């Protein structure tokens, strides 16, 4: 198994795709492997060293110049939302076919394809020159539709050869069509292009009336600036670190949790973080911060 996974990681790197380890039989980086965005590689020697353990293969889509469409299968009992509750719509592939029909476009199937462990499909495309496309989820924001997620700048996919075992489903990611990825069709790029960011505006934090309050306010503003000043590929990591730091003050009784969530959400959305993704990251950071409460001396 280790030898096979090494082979798959090397094959991905040979295509110029940046890889990193995922937990054995899992879909997320192994414990202790933090900041995966900064630790991807295409170096064969590094890959052989890392994959001496039976890690699954993660492919970082952004640095690899990829946009991957994840056409999923519904979970048991899952029903389509009203806008997709129509004859012939059963899964993500059907939704993509409906979008193609709506736009008068052919199904973009002549590209690198991977069958996922739940019977869905990953369609790999190269990013159009000059485009910076980000991740989307379902119909939210600039997403394509029900049961279609996309992974691009800031995201990753579970690579071919990886075997995943969990309560949801067990299976292996298998290459179906090993041709080079096609260029993402222009009509799909247009649909996935993020809407322009709203004008930047300062996040309002109440004024402090004493030295202790001034310290807390400075700490809040510093963490919000961490998010606002983060590079495009580092927004989510900066948001998590800010949530951890402010979560410590929340746990110490120095800040109100609802206010912190509001401030961090405003900062995250102003740099283009999807709302749902930002909410998950903030919640995770607050939980981590709560384990180490911090107070400020009067």
Model pLDDT, residue 2? 56
Nearest CA to 7 among 163, 224, 170, 161? Answer: 161
Looking at the fold, whether 24 and 147 belong to one and the same domain comes out as yes
CA distance 3 to 90: 37
Looking at the fold, whether 103 and 145 belong to one and the same domain comes out as yes
Segment 268-276 mean pLDDT? 80
Residue 280 lies in a domain: yes
- Indicate left, alpha or beta for 119 from its phi (over 0: left) and psi (-120 to 50: alpha): left
For residues 117 and 171, the answer to whether their CB atoms sit within 8 Å is: yes
For residues 126 and 183, the answer to whether their CB atoms sit within 8 Å is: yes
Segment 143-164 mean pLDDT? 93
CA distance 156 to 150: 9
**Range of 220's domain?**
211-290
| 55-103 confidence digits (pLDDT tens) | 999 999 999 999 999 999 998 889 999 999 999 999 999 999 999 999 9
Model pLDDT, residue 215? 81
| 186-211 confidence digits (pLDDT tens) | 999 999 987 665 555 665 666 555 67
| 38-51 confidence digits (pLDDT tens) | 899 999 999 999 99
Looking at the fold, whether 146 and 241 belong to one and the same domain comes out as no
CA distance 221 to 219: 6
* Residue 280 scores a pLDDT above 90: no
275-290 and 235-251 are packed helices; what angle lies between their axes, rounded to 10 degrees? 40
Looking at the fold, whether 188 and 251 belong to one and the same domain comes out as no
User: Which residue in the block uniquely carries the two structure tokens 């048991």?
Assistant: 76
Beta strands (DSSP E) in 86-172 are 112-115, 121-126, 136-137, 148-151, 156-158, 163-165, 170-172
Looking at the fold, whether 13 and 99 belong to one and the same domain comes out as yes
| 207-246 confidence digits (pLDDT tens) | 555 677 788 888 898 999 889 888 776 788 889 999 999 9
Kindly report the backbone phi and psi dihedral angles of residue 60, in degrees, each rounded to the nearest multiple of 5, phi listed first.
-75, 115
Better pLDDT: 169 or 240? 240
Kindly report the backbone phi and psi dihedral angles of residue 275, in degrees, each rounded to the nearest multiple of 5, phi listed first.
-55, -50
Looking at the fold, whether 158 and 274 belong to one and the same domain comes out as no
How far is CA 33 from each of CA 50, 62, 77, rounded to the nearest angstrom?
Answer: 11, 19, 35
Report the percent of the chain where pLDDT is more than 90. Answer: 58
Residue 58 lies in a domain: yes
The single-letter DSSP state of residue 232 is: G
Model pLDDT, residue 205? 65
CA distance 251 to 262: 17
The helix (H) or strand (E) run that includes residue 20 is: strand 18-22
Looking at the fold, whether 133 and 278 belong to one and the same domain comes out as no
For residues 212 and 297, the answer to whether their CB atoms sit within 8 Å is: yes
* pTM for the model: 0.70
In terms of average pLDDT, the best of 24-38, 93-107, 155-169, 235-249 is 93-107
Looking at the fold, whether 148 and 232 belong to one and the same domain comes out as no
The single-letter DSSP state of residue 130 is: T
Looking at the fold, whether 25 and 152 belong to one and the same domain comes out as yes
* Confidence band for 298, pLDDT divided at 50, 70 and 90: low
Polymer length of the chain: 298
Q: Look at the chain and report how many structural domains it folds into.
A: 2
CA distance 55 to 66: 22
Lowest mean pLDDT among 97-111, 131-145, 177-191, 206-220: 206-220
Last residue of a domain, one of 132, 157, 192: 192
Last residue of a domain, one of 192, 221, 242: 192
Residue 154 lies in a domain: yes
Looking at the fold, whether 175 and 286 belong to one and the same domain comes out as no
Residue 298 lies in a domain: no
* Residue 7 scores a pLDDT above 60: yes
Model pLDDT, residue 18? 98
Residue 277 lies in a domain: yes
CA distance 260 to 204: 11
Looking at the fold, whether 186 and 215 belong to one and the same domain comes out as no
CA distance 71 to 93: 5
Looking at the fold, whether 158 and 42 belong to one and the same domain comes out as yes
């Amino acid at each position: 198994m280790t030898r096979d996974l090494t082979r798959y990681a090397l094959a991905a790197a040979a295509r110029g795709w940046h890889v990193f380890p995922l937990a054995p039989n899992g879909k997320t980086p192994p414990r202790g492997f933090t900041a995966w965005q900064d630790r991807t590689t295409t170096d064969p020697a590094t890959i052989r060293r890392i994959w001496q353990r039976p890690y699954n293969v993660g492919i970082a889509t952004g640095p690899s110049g990829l946009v991957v469409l994840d056409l999923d299968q519904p979970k048991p009992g899952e029903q389509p939302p009203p806008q997709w509750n129509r004859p012939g719509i059963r899964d993500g592939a059907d939704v993509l076919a409906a979008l193609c029909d709506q736009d008068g476009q052919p199904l973009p199937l002549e590209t690198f394809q991977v069958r996922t462990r739940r019977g869905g499909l990953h369609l790999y495309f190269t990013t159009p020159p000059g485009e910076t496309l980000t991740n989307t989820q379902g119909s939210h924001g600039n997403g394509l539709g029900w049961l279609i997620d996309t992974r691009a700048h800031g995201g990753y996919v579970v690579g071919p050869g990886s075997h995943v075992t969990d309560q949801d489903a067990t299976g292996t990611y298998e290459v179906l069509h090993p041709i080079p990825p096609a260029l993402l069709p222009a009509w799909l790029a247009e649909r996935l292009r993020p809407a322009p960011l709203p004008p930047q505006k300062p996040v309002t934090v109440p004024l402090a009336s004493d030295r202790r309050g001034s310290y807390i306010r400075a700490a809040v503003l510093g963490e919000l600036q961490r998010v606002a000043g983060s590079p495009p590929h580092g927004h989510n990591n900066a948001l998590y670190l800010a949530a951890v730091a402010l979560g410590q003050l929340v746990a110490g009784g120095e800040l109100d949790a609802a206010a912190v969530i509001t401030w961090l959400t405003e900062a995250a959305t102003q740099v283009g973080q999807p709302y749902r993704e930002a909410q998950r990251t903030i919640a995770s950071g607050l939980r981590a911060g709560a384990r180490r409460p911090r107070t400020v001396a009067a």
